[in-house]
Chain A
Amino acid sequence: MENRIANAFAKKQNHLLNVYLTAGYPTLDATVPLIETLASSGADLIEIGMPFSDPLADGPVIQASSTAALLNGMNLWVLFAQLKDIRQRVPETPILLMGYLNPVMQFGMENFCREAAAAGVDGLILPDLPLAEYEEEYQDVFRRHNLRPVFLITPQTSPERIRRIDALTESFLYLVSGPGTTGGGTTQDPTKQEAYFERIAAMNLRNPRLIGFGIGDKTSFDRACRYAEGAIIGSAFIKALEGKEDAPAAAREFVESVLN
């Protein structure tokens, strides 16, 4: 079945930019204008964060944006209502939903996948969904709704596990750049990091790769693109929206600063 994620990687083989935004941040109604702006200013994929009270894998910036979004009134019902006509405005750019499992479970996985597919979502990133549970319980419903799962790979992930993840994936592999939560902050030895990226590249995996965590500007984006098809920017983008009256204008400026 056709899927916008596969189309995006077919159309462009390198320097793909995936931008993460937190739904309902900086204001409740900012979600759709930001998606439109990201798409029109050159982002190749868009990842919408579904805010959660306890985002374990996220650093302080995304934590704070999640808390703010929840206070703004964001939840899955509101988000799906906001995304109802998104494909009329943004027809081609792949959209992924990223979030933690508990809110999804309370919504119901079947309902969640149906609503996501109806809105024109292409992929799901649920970092605390275990591979075995995905295979046994959720793979069918994902497939029925043509939703592609994206799994994370870290420097500690074993080659066997990477192969298994690659086999379960029909979108892209999310390479976590080093130890740490989103937004970087940890000191990463560049030599070690390069060795890790090169080790994965040499595995000849069937899926393309995007590098995320700690990518925040043109320099780090270009560097990541030497080792993968593209990269994912989240915290730095959220930071660029902080305190801005005109969030879409700030978003455009940010994307242009990374791509040009």
Chain B
Amino acid sequence: MNYQPNARGYYGEFGGAYIPEMLYPNVEELQENYLQILGDPEFQREYQKLLRDYVGRPTPLFEAKRLSAKYGTRVFLKREDLCHTGAHKVNNTVGQILMARRLGKTRIIAETGAGQHGVATATVCALMGMECIVYMGKIDMERQRPNVERMRLLGAEVRAAVSGSQTLKDATNEAIRDWISNPVDTHYIIGSVVGPHPYPDLVARLQSVISEEMRKQLHEELGRELPDYVVACVGGGSNAAGAFYHFLDEPSVKLIAVEAAGHGISSGHSAATSVLGKPGIIHGSRTLLMQDEHGQITEPYSLSAGLDYPGIGPLHAFLGTSGRARFISIEDEQALYSVAELSRLEGIIPALETAHALAALPQLGAGPEDVVVVNLSGRGDKDLATYLQFADKLNSYDF
């Protein structure tokens, strides 16, 4: 099976570039240049140097012994939470801003849900001295206030998306409308493996450093490059794409994508796209999409602002429907339990998104000899307000 997109950006029946004509020249420019730029040794030198000296890569691969003992398997954590800005998102923004400069762009726009991609974009714009505008749903701005202030401190302008549900989907709509209005000088840094071709492939490639390092680190640690399981949470799916990338063609490696079930799959308050979605078009890509019987996009729900996207990246839609990846859904409650568990057993407070991946551990069926790598995509500082709200519950668990 081939897991790379074809020339028009399709992974099987998913992907493509369903965009209005106003976006065509921008997207075509990227399509025609991204592989060449990514392959340019000078670009790679600059990118790798920034990943090392600015982002702090390679991130450690840490064997979580107490967690391993509890679940009767060998659990390793890929510490993306130790990246500069606190999550894997910066791997992509560093690469895309270097690309934007090469394309002669002077103005950067981005969308953000939880604010992590917005912060990672504002950060690299400060580093490069470029104008930065981040679109964020008005409701998300209220529930992720500290990240709004971080972006402003970094010199970015945060614009509230007031259309629709005022969350990530609407922030993305507004960013796309901005790009339509500013087709010449602006580059749009999409934060996930979503959007029209080439974005899903571009972002997956920039995040693939995660699995590249995993292979090396497993080899050094265990003398084998391949784990038995790789586990990652999926909203749009950028950290999962990066964690899976170099294992896609290794059928012995089980790929586990963990979605947010919110209050439960059938509760009407969920973001489990692989279960609740049907093929459809969102933000220029044909993928699995949560929608009503009339093709209107519905509002997803998750306690975690980084997972409440009504679609998933086309790569993940393909991995799921072809059976290459197994999808697991985790409810809010289970994710909160995993927040407390990792904090108390390993001394690491994970992001709420990441906690969904950890909560899948008991469902894997992994044995004592199996090697499980969980991509620890982000740290929990940004979620402190939510954790305070659930403090009694979080402190009531026994470990």
Which residues in A have some Cβ–Cβ distance to B below 8 Å?
A: 52-54, 56-57, 59-60, 63, 67, 70, 75-77, 100-107, 127-130, 132-133, 151-154, 156-158, 161, 176, 179-181, 185-186
Contacts and interface: CB of A to CB of B under 8 A. Distances in A.
Contacts of B184: 156, 179
Contacts of B291: 102, 106
B295 A151 contact: no
Contacts of A133: 16, 18
B398 interface: no
Interface in B5-47: 8, 16-22, 24-25
Given A102-B282, A157-B21, A176-B21, A181 B295 contact: no
Interface string B352-378: 000000000000000000000000000
Given A70-B296, A133-B16, A54 B169 contact: yes
Given A53-B164, A56-B20, A132-B8, A156 B183 contact: yes
Contacts of A56: 19-20, 173, 176-177, 180, 283
Contacts of B293: 106
B321 interface: no
Given A102-B282, A102-B289, A132-B8, A54 B22 contact: no
Nearest to A158: B25
Given A54-B173, A57-B22, A179 B180 contact: yes
B294 A103 contact: yes
Given A128-B281, A157-B25, A106 B180 contact: no
Interface string B147-168: 0000000000000000110000
Given A101-B18, A152-B20, A181 B294 contact: no
A152 B21 contact: yes
Contacts of A67: 163-164
Max count, chain B CB within 10 A of own CB: residue among A70, A102, A104, A161: A102
A61 B182 CA distance: 20
A179 B180 CA distance: 6
A180 B25 contact: no
Nearest to B8: A132
A181 B180 contact: yes
Contacts of A77: 294
Contacts of A127: 20-21
Contact of A107 (B177, B281, B289, B295): B295
B20 A103 contact: no
B18 A128 contact: yes
A120 to B, nearest CB: 22
A159 to B, nearest CB: 12
Contacts of A75: 294, 296
Contacts of B176: 56
Nearest to A100: B281
B320 interface: no
B22 A176 contact: yes
Contacts of A103: 294-296
A179 B289 CA distance: 29
Contact of A57 (B180, B283, B289): B180
Contacts of A157: 21, 24-25
A128 B280 CA distance: 12
Interface of B: 8, 16-22, 24-25, 163-164, 169, 173, 176-177, 180-184, 278-284, 289, 291, 293-297
Sorted nearest first, the 3 A-B pairs with minimum C-beta distance are: A106-B295, A103-B295, A152-B21
A196 B213 CA distance: 50
B286 to A, nearest CB: 9
Given A101-B18, A101-B281, A130-B16, 19 more contacts: A52-B296, A53-B164, A54-B169, A54-B173, A56-B20, A60-B163, A67-B163, A75-B296, A102-B291, A102-B295, A103-B294, A106-B293, A151-B21, A176-B21, A176-B22, A179-B22, A179-B180, A180-B181, A181-B180
Contacts of B8: 132
A79 B176 CA distance: 28
A53 B21 contact: no
A54 B281 CA distance: 10
Contacts of A180: 180-181
B227 to A, nearest CB: 38
A128 B27 CA distance: 13
B282 to A, nearest CB: 7
A104 B18 CA distance: 13
A67 B8 CA distance: 32
B19 A106 contact: no
A102 B281 CA distance: 5
A16 B154 CA distance: 51
Nearest to B18: A128
Max count, chain A CB within 10 A of own CB: residue among B164, B177, B279: B177
Contacts of B17: 130
A60 B162 CA distance: 10
Contacts of B280: 102, 105-106
Contacts of B22: 57, 152, 154, 156, 176, 179, 181
B183 to A, nearest CB: 5
Contacts of A53: 164, 296-297
A173 to B, nearest CB: 11
A215 B298 CA distance: 32
A106 B25 CA distance: 28
Contacts of A181: 22, 177, 180-181
Given A102-B282, A102-B291, A57 B20 contact: yes
Nearest to A64: B163
Contacts of B294: 75-77, 103, 106-107
A130 B286 CA distance: 12
Given A102-B295, A179-B22, A186-B181, A128 B284 contact: yes
Nearest to B182: A179
A133 B196 CA distance: 14
A82 to B, nearest CB: 15
